[in-house]
Chains A and B, each alone.
Chain A
Amino acid sequence: MFSIKYLAHDIVKVLCFLLGLPMFLYQRPKILFENKKAQKHIRGGAILIANHLGFFDPIYMMIAIWYRRHHFICLKKFFEGKSRPFFKAFLCLPIDKNNVSFGSFREIVEHIKQGELVSMFPEGAVNDGSGETATFKSGVTLMAFQGKVPIVPMYIKKKEHWYERLTMVIGEPIDDFSNPEAKMNFGLIDKITEKLQNKESELEALVKGEKNK
């Protein structure tokens, strides 16, 4: 209801909406695909990985793969205190980086075995600001081996200017894990983790190439 008392507030609100909506539409994320296989919807259990630039990355991942529920792996510290209900509502799975528990690892693997999508950042932390993707931790590979599910790589491009649209690129799923004959050992885990890192670099090159076109 109109009230002179809230006139300034209401004007600001309307202006925000009028200016914000076109801005939102203009700034909508741009999603690219590496190839035709990457364009296919992710079905069944899978792990989605991306580089980690900031707090909003999980939202970008949810926008890119909008048709699935994401279980995000997050630090246990976020699950302590007042933020717990928020992270629980977002289906986050806590993990203690300093003292990984076997129970939390088992819980993550159970989710992917049940056909759910687990999303995570193999860098293990938010990027240091350089824009360079840090070395991937190999936990993601072990999870995929245990769940026998593919890993879907994704690259989020850092915005250079505020007016730029956010660009993300989704890669072809890597499925080196469903073969029951695969002899898993430390060497193979490291090798596949390196392959994931290389794939991330390829996606980065692809998105940068797209920009220069």
Chain B
Amino acid sequence: MSMSRTEIIDKIKEILVYADPAGADKYVDIKEDADLRTEYGMTSVNMLYIVIAIEETFGIQFDNIGMNDVATLRDVVNYIEAKLS
């Protein structure tokens, strides 16, 4: 599956809005370099949820990496791009 970076970000935004409908507004202009935990208040469980949703959406599987390795949206997108390529 080949996807542009913008398409990947849009899909992630959809996942975030589905996961957190109450805070949907804050994900509209989400910055790539923003730390998802410190700036968007995500807990480690929220991050696990997002990873599960990403795995299902993109048909990929995350390796045994730690949460600190994908702290920002940019890290997540880079990781997905590398997996899809």
Q: Which A residues contact B (CB, under 8 angstroms)?
A: 96, 98-105, 137-139, 141-142, 146, 184-187, 189
* Inter-chain contacts of B67 with A (CB < 8 A): 99-102
Main secondary structure of the interface of A (DSSP, over half): helix
Given contacts A100-B66, A102-B62, 9 further A-B contacts (CB under 8 A): A100-B67, A102-B48, A102-B63, A139-B44, A139-B45, A141-B45, A185-B20, A185-B21, A189-B45
Q: Which residue of B is nearest A107, CB measured?
A: B64
On whether the beta carbons of B48 and A186 are closer than 8 Å, the reply is no
A101 to B52, CA, bound (A): 12
Most A CB within 10 A of own CB, among B20, B22, B64 = B64
CB distance from A112 to the nearest CB of B (A): 15
Number of interface residues of B (CB under 8 A): 21
A185 to B18, CA, bound (A): 7
Q: Which residue of B is nearest A188, CB measured?
A: B19
* Inter-chain contacts of A185 with B (CB < 8 A): 18-21
A7 to B46, CA, bound (A): 62
Q: Which B residues contact A (CB, under 8 angstroms)?
A: 18-22, 43-49, 51-52, 62-68
Q: Which residue of B is nearest A141, CB measured?
A: B45
A100 to B37, CA, bound (A): 13
On whether the beta carbons of B49 and A102 are closer than 8 Å, the reply is no
On whether the beta carbons of B51 and A138 are closer than 8 Å, the reply is no
CB distance from A193 to the nearest CB of B (A): 9
On whether the beta carbons of A99 and B68 are closer than 8 Å, the reply is yes
* Inter-chain contacts of B18 with A (CB < 8 A): 185
Q: Of B20, B22, B48, which one neighbours A100 at CB under 8 angstroms?
A: B48
On whether the beta carbons of A103 and B22 are closer than 8 Å, the reply is no
